[in-house]
Amino acid sequence: MSKEKCKKKEKDAFDSIISIVLKKILLLLKKKVGKMKYKFSELIDIEEYQNLSDKFTKFTKVSTAMIDFEGNVLTKSGWVDICVKFHRANPGTFKRCLKSDTILANEIEKGKKYQTKEGKKYHIYECENGLTDVVFPIFIRGEHVGNVFIGQFLLEKPDINYFKKQAKEFGFDEKKYLEALANVPIFTEEEIEEKMDFLLTLAEMLGNSGYGKLNLLETNEELLAVIKTKEKMYQKAITDGLTGLYNHVFFQKSLLKEIKHTKRDGLELSLIFLDIDNFKSVNDKYGHQAGDKILKEVAKISKRMIRKNDIIARYGGEEIVILLPNTNFENGYQFAEKLRMEIEKTMFVTVSLGISNFPQNFNDLFLKREEIKEELIKKADAAMYYSKDNGKNQVTKYRDSIKS
């Protein structure tokens, strides 16, 4: 059987399982709520909303699903492998899913345990398989017509031993299971609240304008424009206006995030500081506009040479920082050397670079993330100044003999 057919068969099987699960959830609600005057699928353009859901998932990494009271999965996006390939594919863990789904359905109907944010109700629950989900109802003109689910995420770093035990208990391939776990997104409660607020607002807008598909289509187009506008505003907020690189604030947040991942997964993280040699002299001799052009060109070359997952930002002035996740000290140094040579070859200026590494430059591996961040920056900066003070146009790996 071809890979395409295998994937299609796997997808069809999963869709069938999801349909069964969600029908069981909605059955409890349907018995109590009774027949709805309107079917949700009659009030919205499903294809357009699916596009919005896909874009939302792509932008936020959050899995979503919209279900009507017939148990029909109207839209879904971003379901993670640990649910698709393990929890809902194994009879034992699937039973846990059903149990959690039933509890959730009852909580929705009770209404007493809803968490409220600005008058909007939703319920957060933890599946017995260890992941977290959120559900909230959609009302149109006072009628409860469906529910939106987001989930398959974690609120904190997972207990690896718990999932190892679970893999053993249900016969999962431990390596593949933990790899799937590593891809489950982790959000803080604040981040979840932000995403929930957006989805709640989205559902409210759909409800208020959902009495005609044409009106709803127009609303969806407006929502898409809002999403694009927010994306543009977000990009503008994290981007340096001159170079087009990420700005200092985004770099600081990204460094903290990568340190967390590095410590969690037992990897290495390298940080490069780059400074244009004799930049003040260039500004004094040719003017600041010429200096700006040089800085932009150095940024352009540097950005072209990094990998997809690397992070490059303007640190300040003529300093550029490059964050290299999952990169050991030597490989980071080799990259920095290639970058230095490329700039020297293509421009009439040179650059001095310094590089630090976690955990190679640290004796204490149990420092807090903020402390590791500050030390990585200090050490890379010190190594860069060592390059400048010892002839410029070179790369220096931080070592203890260099004072940070």
Please name the residue that has the structure tokens 């004072």. Answer: 403
Catalytic residue of the set 318, 330, 342, 374: 318
Which amino acid makes up residue 362? Answer: F
Contacts of 94 (CB under 8 A, 6+ apart): 17, 87, 88
Q: In this structure, what token pair is assigned to residue 209?
A: 């304008």
DSSP-derived secondary structure letter, 333: H
Q: N- to C-terminal Cα distance for the chain?
A: 60
The C-alpha R_g of the chain, in whole angstroms, comes to 26
In order, the DSSP letters of 59-120 are HH--EEEEEETT--EEEEE---HIIIIIITTSHHHHHHHHHHHHHHHHHHHH-TT-EEETTE
203 CB-contact burial (10 Å; exposed 0-12 / middle 13-18 / buried 19+): buried
Exposure string for 365-380, b = 16+ CB within 10 A, e = fewer: eebeeeebbebbbebb
Tokens of residue 388, six digits: 């400048």
Sheet holding 395-397, edge to edge: 311-316, 319-325, 269-276, 351-358, 395-397
**CA distance readout (Å), 13 to 22, 53, 82, 89:** 14, 22, 15, 9
Q: Confirm whether 318 is a catalytic residue.
A: yes
DSSP letter at 183 equals T
The residues annotated as belonging to the active site are: 318
